[in-house]
Structure 1
Amino acid sequence: MADTATQTPPPWRKRIDGAWAFSAALLALVALLDLPQFVPTVTFAARAIAGTAPFILFAVCAVAYLKATGAENLLARAFEGNPARMIVMAALLGGLSPFCSCEVIPFIAALLAVGAPLGAVMAFWLASPLMDPAMFAITTGAIGTEFAIAKTLAAVGLGIFGGFGTQLLSGTPIFANPLREKPAVGGCCGVSQPFSAKPVWRFWTERARVTTFRDTGLENAAFLLKWLTLAYIVEALMVHYMPADLIANVLGGSGLGTVILGALVGMPAYLNGYAAAPLVAELLEQGMSNGAAMSFMIAGGVSCIPAAIAVWALVKPRVFAAYLTFALTGSILAGVVWQVVA
């Protein structure tokens, strides 16, 4: 009999302690400092989770299916052919693909190792953390379909903007010898040759793929549940304690300043796209401008720690600085456009 005391826990049990602990700490503080508000806070979060449940279920099943079938193997084809075509395809697929942070590193490392143009890689890097099927579903449920579609378009647009910007500046010192060292293929997901196999759409015919479907589904369900629980607790506290006129005065209005401020606040303050969606929805209710909301989510999504580490691990600081510059500039442009359209 195996010694269960020393077995490694399944993947879906990992990476949940921090967010759950923070949620518990917030509730404990509410109970300690304002006990009458404790039950309304818990009730608000529970009802919000229940309302978002259909979107969570769809997101979990969609990502699990894509992982189990190996559909993401098709992404490598975006990095073949004409450089301009590569940039556009990389931005499109980066904005739609269900990547986790640990898979981005081995995938990009493999591409860089075989000489893929940095412009196409930059396009994928910028677009990838901003949108995926799960995030689209959560954003739709929290803010609305129009905002989710606009954010998807902004993700693709940012990728194209950064990709062609990198391509145009490829001969400058900024992008000369961009890599820290020649990357090796591999990563924390155990992908030694990432995205090299053909998809198997009928994944249930293979036991290993069924296991992948189960583990991916449970892992994503735990991930979404922990972050959305934290987000809805924070939202409940914002509704009760944060004056609406404060948000309206700082991030309201239609001027360029609010869009720039949204991007500048979003870059260091962002949690992740799943937690940010309900918080931004509440900020919009309290008077945050549409443009500031978009620039906040775009700038924060690209600069959040998992996305930034994937870039920092492979390229030199000047290239990383260019990555952040493209993110900030593109997020402001996206915010201005959405401010006009919305």
Structure 2
Amino acid sequence: MTAWVRTLSELDLLWTRRQLRAHVVWLVSLALLLVLAATVPRQALESLRFTLESLLWIAPFLALSVGTAAWLKAAGADSLIAGVVSRAPVIAIAFAALLGAFSPFCSCGVVPLVAALLAAGVPLPAVMAFWVASPIMDPEMFLLTLPVLGLDFALAKTASALLLGSLAGFATLGLQRFGLFRQVLRDGVGGGCATSRLRQGPQVQWAVWREPQRRAQFGREALRVGLFLAKWLTLAFLIESLMVAWLPADMVAASVGGDRPWAIALAATVGAPAYVNGYAAIPLAGELINAGMVPGAALAFMLAGGMTSIPAAMAVWAVAQRGVFFWYLLIVFAGAMLAGYSYQGLVLLRAGGAL
């Protein structure tokens, strides 16, 4: 009898720990708001408003992404999609980079869609191409960049989106062929390996509403993935609100201004963790270039800040395995530097200078 009681107690403790781990992100968000309310009440209200507005803005993308992932999973179409993309990886990567460069997603907003694509069985190289290219440029940002930074800068940023997205995809494909990144998504996001290896599944049935089992699977998958992403995005937006309030973009950008030899590397280093809204960064970059910042440093800063930041990195950490997460950060940092130095080299070449 004593052994049974001990076993039940251990199971109860294990369940409690699992529940605590499952809700720890919500608890951290709540604790952060309570600390702000006790110390800086005005900022607590502002952070709450910012977070709710951000969640409301991203809700349609989140619902579309989660719904698509759940539908494809319930339909049994994940292996079919993986097979189609895997048979033509080069075309898939090029198309994903092109699609990303013209999609209206920010670094946080693209994460739910990335999770949905991976959960649906789309191989990581194509997803990585879209993932990297998407936050850099879109048609609206291109039109806003033209009058402030000029056609050359707008074209350089667009080319960076296409080239860095393609580079990320092909580099990931090469590493996968050496056996890396076989497991992509974290547990709880709804993913398997999402590599080029096909997964066996049930027969594809697109009309999932016709079968009770598939309807139930759709509901479970949508609820599980939706709540998982929502809790991490809530914490990410809370932290983003504090960065916007206490770490203004103009102060961050001013720290990497000037034409020092290390300006481009410093711009990429500072831009990677710092939050810089892609649209707000346009007039800011124009002012800094007029004040003496080299164009290559401005491009590196905007690329690094656009592709990732502390809030966006948190969202990536939530859905991706650790190796994929650090690989993504490396691509962002190296890509921003490569684009910055390349563009600065072209500027100097056109001006008759030298690197």
TM-score normalised by structure 2 residue count: 0.55
Q: CA deviation at 1:213?
A: 2.1
- Structure 1: how far apart are the matches of 2:237 and 2:185? 31
Q: CA deviation at 1:296?
A: 2.8
Residue equivalent to 2:234:
225
The answer as to whether partners of 2:26 and 2:231 remain within 8 angstroms in 1 is: yes
Question: Do the aligned partners of residues 14 and 196 (structure 1) sit closer, same or farther apart at CA in structure 2, a change above 3 Å counting?
Answer: farther
- Structure 2: how far apart are the matches of 1:148 and 1:77? 35
May I ask how many residue pairs the two structures share in their alignment?
284
* 1:251 maps to 2:245: no
Unaligned 5+ residue runs, structure 1?
A: 32-37, 112-120, 271-275, 314-319
* 1:208 maps to 2:213: no
Residue equivalent to 1:34:
none
Q: CA deviation at 1:212?
A: 2.0
* 1:160 maps to 2:166: yes
Residue equivalent to 1:317:
none
User: Which of the residues 1, 8, 16 maps onto 2:26?
Assistant: 16
The answer as to whether partners of 2:276 and 2:305 remain within 8 angstroms in 1 is: no
Deviations 1:226-279 (A, max 9, x none): 22122113322335xx9x5x4353235799965532322345x36xxxxx466x
Residue equivalent to 1:63:
65
Q: CA deviation at 1:78?
A: 2.0
Question: Do the aligned partners of residues 166 and 50 (structure 1) sit closer, same or farther apart at CA in structure 2, a change above 3 Å counting?
Answer: closer
The sequence identity of aligned pairs, in percent, is: 17
Q: CA deviation at 1:161?
A: 2.1
- Structure 1: how far apart are the matches of 2:208 and 2:27? 34
- Structure 2: how far apart are the matches of 1:188 and 1:211? 15
- Structure 2: how far apart are the matches of 1:47 and 1:328? 31
TM-score normalised by structure 1 residue count: 0.56
Question: Do the aligned partners of residues 248 and 262 (structure 1) sit closer, same or farther apart at CA in structure 2, a change above 3 Å counting?
Answer: closer
Counterpart of 1:188, as a letter, is: D
The answer as to whether partners of 2:96 and 2:126 remain within 8 angstroms in 1 is: yes
Q: Secondary structure at the match of 2:114?
A: coil
Deviations 1:148-190 (A, max 9, x none): 99999855532312445688xx7xxxx798336x958997357
CA RMSD of aligned residues (A): 5.5
Structure showing greater Rg: 2
- Structure 2: how far apart are the matches of 1:11 and 1:229? 20
* 1:98 maps to 2:113: yes
Residue equivalent to 2:267:
262
Structure with bigger RCO (C-alpha 8 Å, 6+ apart) = 1
Q: Secondary structure at the match of 1:179?
A: coil
Residue equivalent to 1:309:
322
Q: Secondary structure at the match of 1:100?
A: helix
Q: Secondary structure at the match of 2:48?
A: helix
* 1:78 maps to 2:85: yes
Counterpart of 2:26, as a letter, is: I
User: Which of the residues 133, 142, 146 maps onto 2:141?
Assistant: 146
Unaligned 5+ residue runs, structure 2?
A: 1-10, 102-109, 145-153, 289-297, 347-355
Q: Secondary structure at the match of 1:251?
A: coil
The answer as to whether partners of 1:78 and 1:86 remain within 8 angstroms in 2 is: yes
Deviations 1:169-227 (A, max 9, x none): x7xxxx798336x9589973575575665473655961220222233333333222222
- Structure 1: how far apart are the matches of 2:209 and 2:341? 43
Q: Secondary structure at the match of 1:200?
A: coil
- Structure 1: how far apart are the matches of 2:244 and 2:304? 20
- Structure 2: how far apart are the matches of 1:299 and 1:230? 14
